[in-house]
């Protein structure tokens, strides 16, 4: 009985972590709107790059 209770508690404690890890789209997605001042969006690289000063 004690082993079954321990295994059940372990399974229930791991369930939220397993559910969260399977969610797609949680990674940070960088877009042109998220570029910091002084940076512009480079579509070829798919990221923000420093704006060249002239």
Look at the pTM and tell me if it is higher than 0.85.
Answer: no
Task: Select from 40, 15, 20 the least CA-distant residue to 30.
Answer: 40
* Alpha-helix runs per DSSP H in 1-54: 2-21
Question: Nearest 5°: phi and psi at 28?
Answer: -75, 130
Task: Select from 48, 21, 26 the least CA-distant residue to 37.
Answer: 48
- Express each pLDDT in 6-34 by its tens digit: 988 877 777 776 666 655 655 556 666 77
Model pLDDT, residue 30: 60
Residue 41 has pLDDT above 60, yes or no: yes
């Amino acid at each position: 009985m004690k082993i079954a209770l321990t295994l059940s508690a372990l399974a229930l404690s791991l369930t939220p972590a397993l559910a969260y890890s399977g969610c797609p789209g949680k990674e940070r997605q960088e877009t042109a709107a998220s570029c910091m001042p002084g940076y512009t969006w480079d579509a070829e690289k798919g990221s923000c790059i420093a704006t060249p000063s002239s």
